[in-house]
């Protein structure tokens, strides 16, 4: 039996276990997905222990995504983003990846939204913002980062080729953009009814990805839909980062429909 798992603290709320277990069932795999919740200063020890136990792969979530960088051999994307959310133990040494980047790219692709040559605005300069900015820039978009703290936006933009930065007053750029990603927690419970982008900036030629998935339809997505924009809820990003991890671990095409059904059932 192959065993995969999730490293985080806390992990009780995670939807990764049912999503991955659904994949194993759909493909008839002899595999299980378990959770690990070590002390917050024990990321390196937890990775070493997982390798000793013969764990085939780990997902990594808060607060360990940065700490795990020093415990594995990160690929170029994870190194540039500065965070690892997937570890593969099948090689000679543990390899680290950031599948959040692929999650952004594949969420847009699934909705037939092109990235190359487009103008994109990313709201937020934290972990999700970094993943989104690199995903969009690597796929050929021109990226502008807007963040409440301008210095954080500028720091991220300095790392992303060709990116620009500004404060929340620069959100007016959304009116001329093709792509918008909300990578903040604004709109998430208990921030009921809030939105990170004024509705006046939204338009029909825009594609909007909101990384928030609880609630599944945020005020941002509701107002974007009303403006005629293409809307992509945060569960798609969550799904495709998991799909990417599954495919890296197993070398098999993920049963996307089964994983998506399990994920959305968990969100109800």
State the catalytic residues. 65
Burial letters 144-163, b for 16+ CB under 10 A, else e: bbbbeebebbbebbeebeeb
Q: What one-character-per-residue DSSP string does 43-112 give?
A: HHHHHHHHHHHT--EEEE-TT-TTGGGGGSEE-HHHHHHT---EEE-SSSS-EEE-HHHHHHHHHHHHTT
Neighbours of 183 (CB within 10 A): 28
**Strands (DSSP E) along the chain, which ranges?**
2-7, 31-36, 57-60, 73-74, 86-88, 95-97, 119-123, 142-146, 164-166, 179-182, 207-210, 230-232
Give the 3-state secondary structure of residue 176.
helix
Whole-Å CA distances, 198 to 165, 223, 234:
18, 9, 19
How big is the chain, counted in residues?
268
Please state, in angstroms and rounded to a whole number, the distance separating the CA atoms of residues 267 and 254: 20
């Amino acid at each position: 039996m192959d065993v995969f798992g999730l490293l985080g603290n806390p992990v009780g709320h995670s939807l990764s276990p049912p999503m991955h277990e659904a994949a194993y069932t759909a493909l008839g795999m002899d595999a299980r997905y378990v959770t690990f919740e070590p002390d917050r200063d024990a990321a390196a020890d937890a990775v070493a222990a997982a390798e000793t136990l013969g764990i085939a792969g780990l997902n990594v979530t808060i607060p360990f995504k940065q700490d795990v960088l020093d415990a594995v051999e990160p690929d170029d994307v994870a190194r540039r983003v500065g965070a690892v959310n997937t570890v593969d133990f099948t090689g000679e040494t543990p390899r680290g990846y950031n599948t959040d980047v692929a999650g952004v790219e594949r969420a847009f692709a699934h909705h037939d939204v092109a990235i190359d040559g487009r103008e994109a605005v990313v709201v937020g300069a934290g972990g999700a913002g970094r993943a989104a900015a690199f995903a969009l820039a690597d796929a050929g978009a021109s990226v502008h980062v807007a963040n409440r703290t301008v210095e954080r936006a500028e720091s991220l933009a300095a790392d992303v080729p060709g990116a620009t930065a500004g404060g929340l007053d620069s959100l007016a750029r959304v009116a001329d953009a093709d792509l918008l990603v909300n990578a903040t927690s604004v709109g998430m419970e208990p921030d009921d009814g809030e939105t990170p982008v004024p509705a006046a900036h939204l338009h029909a030629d825009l594609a909007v990805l909101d990384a928030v998935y609880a609630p599944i339809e945020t005020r941002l997505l509701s107002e974007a839909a009303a403006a005629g924009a293409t809307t992509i809820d945060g569960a798609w990003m969550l799904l495709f980062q998991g799909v990417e991890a599954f495919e890296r671990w197993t070398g098999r095409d993920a049963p996307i429909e089964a994983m998506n059904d399990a994920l959305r059932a968990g969100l109800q």
